[in-house]
């Protein structure tokens, strides 16, 4: 019996070791085209998360210095970047398909360089000083972020599109896993940013550190131009096509076409619109109503009320198409709708990693932790890189939905550790437990979204499953994170950070509670494939 257990443990350790080391082994064996994508993607992970680590501090301490409620304004400016990127990718996702991945990647890096130069140069070369909201420093910084938004809106779709074009169905999963692993590896290097910023080392400050990340973006551009040459791209695409079997893709497209035809042929009426659609409309209405003032409130409400009326008055064919899209949309599935929105509270913890943690650690902790806040605030990617393959191997045969409950419970519970107050033990316990919880459920999240999707709609359901992540980027800084920092963790004055994290924990813990309460309903009629 003991020999059998020992053999099982050896197999498990071997499996975990393989999953951790495989991306790097695959990287060494990867063709030139994938090297061009992966090298730039790793560097870009460092550049993006490196700047993001400092961005809220930059706006609070530089741009809005002396302004009322600087933390509130700074968090909303960071929201413009993070939520704006999600919107930008939706709008500009067509660029790599229309102009080719190489042109899209080069154009995106050029725009990212321009944006980061403007962001870096505003307080340094241009010598702009903070003198209020919508000052020259504020406007130039936001112009830089605008260029970054457009650049990143093309970059992310282009990188994933390139991987898809350069690989076969057999090698695609390896390539995507490698991209994810290297992004985490790159972003984790942002923890060494103190070597650039801190006065004990290079003493570049935050603005000087921005210049280093801008220079790294130039390296990404050069790597893309020279490694991912036009000939390399053409050869990679031809080779992938010759090794692939397109029959399955053709069948999928044909099935999608038939599905769209069936939607048009159905006579949907306004009464067929599901309750979830009205809930979304009501939620948007309430959110915007309390964020705007008269007369914009009245104008907006009139606009919303007119939407159903306009749809009803449309000619028959476009009315059928619009109603068919609404009725068959993933959010029309009440179970999926509940599942998606129940995850939003726990996903707020992801947002705190780059929006709250750097400021919180630098303000609430003394000594080397507070001075070198980059180390702790960027520890999560390192832990995730190690923990995901370990926990995946340990729980691969566990029920998906149960893992969602347990994982979100563990992750949400981590916030209550920091509610005990700022200390080194509490901070690193929070980071470790939060990362364990994330590793337990985040990998299963898209799997559940795929499993629950009707036949032929897995891709659509996976796309919509990203909605909670977008909403947390948008809602957390817009509604409360800046206010919480100013009230409980101000730059100067009395701090009550335990209360802040208690509130964060109470928000996050609602997710596992909701998933547990709805367990019988959500699992009814749902069967995992491996079961």
Place of tokens 């695409």: 237
SS3 of residue 453 by DSSP: coil
Other C-beta atoms closer than 10 Å to the C-beta of 2 total: 6
Q: Which of 285, 300, 328 is the last residue of a domain?
A: 328
Same domain? For 149 and 75 the reply is: yes
369 assigned to some structural domain: yes
Q: Which of 189, 224, 244 is the last residue of a domain?
A: 244
249 assigned to some structural domain: no
pLDDT at 423: 94
pLDDT at 460: 63
Same domain? For 510 and 425 the reply is: yes
The verdict on pTM exceeding 0.85 is: no
Q: Is the dihedral of CA 57, 59, 64, 70 positive or negative?
A: negative
pLDDT at 521: 85
The answer to whether residues 433 and 414 touch, using CB atoms and an 8 Å cutoff, is yes
- What is the domain count for the chain? 4
pLDDT at 372: 92
- What residues have CB less than 8 Å from 405, skipping those under 6 apart? 512, 515, 516, 519
- Supply the range of the domain harboring residue 266: 254-328
pLDDT at 528: 46
Same domain? For 299 and 167 the reply is: no
Instruction: For residues 29 and 460, give the distance between their C-alpha atoms in angstroms, rounded to a whole number.
Output: 32
Q: Which of 270, 305, 328 is the last residue of a domain?
A: 328
Instruction: For residues 156 and 514, give the distance between their C-alpha atoms in angstroms, rounded to a whole number.
Output: 33
pLDDT at 38: 87
Residues of the chain with pLDDT under 50: 247, 250-265, 527-531
Same domain? For 236 and 206 the reply is: yes
Same domain? For 229 and 344 the reply is: no
pLDDT at 161: 84
Same domain? For 291 and 373 the reply is: no
pLDDT at 258: 37
pLDDT at 256: 46
Same domain? For 398 and 417 the reply is: yes
* DSSP codes, 236-284: HHHHHHHHS-THHHHHHHHHHHHHHHHHHHS---GGGS-HHHHHHHHHH
Same domain? For 228 and 279 the reply is: no
């Amino acid at each position: 019996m003991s020999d059998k257990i020992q053999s099982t443990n050896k197999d498990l350790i071997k499996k975990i070791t393989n999953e951790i080391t495989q991306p790097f082994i695959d990287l060494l064996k990867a063709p030139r085209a994938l090297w061009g994508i992966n090298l730039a993607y790793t560097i870009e992970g460092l550049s993006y998360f490196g700047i993001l680590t400092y961005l809220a501090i930059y706006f609070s301490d530089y741009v809005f210095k002396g302004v009322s409620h600087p933390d509130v304004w700074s968090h909303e400016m960071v929201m413009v970047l993070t939520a704006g990127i999600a919107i930008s990718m939706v709008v500009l996702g067509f660029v790599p398909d229309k102009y080719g991945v190489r042109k899209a990647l080069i154009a995106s890096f050029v725009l990212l360089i321009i944006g980061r130069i403007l962001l870096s140069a505003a307080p340094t070369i241009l010598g702009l000083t903070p003198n209020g909201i919508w000052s020259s420093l504020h406007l130039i910084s936001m112009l830089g972020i605008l260029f970054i938004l457009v650049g990143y809106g093309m970059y992310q779709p282009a990188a994933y599109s390139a991987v898809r074009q350069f690989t076969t169905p057999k090698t695609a999963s390896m390539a995507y896993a490698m991209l994810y692993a290297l992004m985490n590896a790159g972003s984790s290097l942002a923890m060494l940013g103190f070597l650039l910023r801190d006065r004990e080392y290079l003493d570049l400050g935050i603005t000087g550190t921005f210049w280093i990340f801008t220079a790294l973006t130039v390296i990404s551009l050069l790597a893309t131009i020279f490694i991912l040459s036009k000939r390399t791209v053409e050869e990679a695409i031809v080779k992938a096509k010759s090794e692939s079997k397109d029959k399955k893709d053709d069948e999928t497209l044909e099935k999608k076409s038939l599905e769209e035809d069936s939607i048009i042929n159905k006579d949907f009426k306004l009464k067929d619109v599901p309750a979830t659609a009205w809930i979304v409309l009501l939620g948007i209405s309430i959110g915007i109503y309390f964020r705007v003032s008269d007369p914009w409130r009245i104008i907006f409400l009139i606009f919303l009320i007119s939407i159903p009326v306009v749809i009803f008055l449309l000619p028959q064919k476009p009315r059928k198409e619009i109603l068919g899209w609404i009725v068959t949309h993933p959010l029309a599935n009440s179970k999926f709708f509940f599942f998606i929105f129940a995850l939003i509270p726990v996903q707020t913890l992801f947002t705190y990693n780059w929006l709250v943690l750097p400021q919180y650690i630098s303000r609430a902790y003394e000594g080397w932790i507070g001075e070198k806040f980059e180390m702790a605030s960027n520890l999560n990617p390192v832990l995730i890189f190690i923990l995901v393959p370990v926990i995946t191997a340990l729980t691969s045969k566990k029920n998906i939905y149960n893992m969602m409950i347990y994982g979100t419970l563990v992750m949400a519970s981590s916030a209550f550790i920091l509610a005990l107050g700022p200390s080194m033990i509490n901070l690193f316990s929070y980071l470790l437990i939060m990362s364990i919880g994330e590793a337990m459920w985040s990998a299963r999240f898209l799997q559940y979204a795929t499993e629950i999707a009707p036949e032929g709609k897995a891709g659509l359901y996976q796309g919509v499953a990203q909605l909670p992540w977008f909403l947390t980027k948008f809602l957390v800084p817009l509604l409360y994170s800046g206010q919480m920092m100013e009230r409980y963790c101000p730059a100067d004055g009395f701090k009550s950070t335990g209360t802040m994290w208690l509130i964060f924990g109470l928000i996050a813990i609602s997710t596992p509670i909701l998933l547990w309460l709805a367990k019988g309903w959500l699992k009814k009629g749902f069967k995992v494939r491996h079961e």
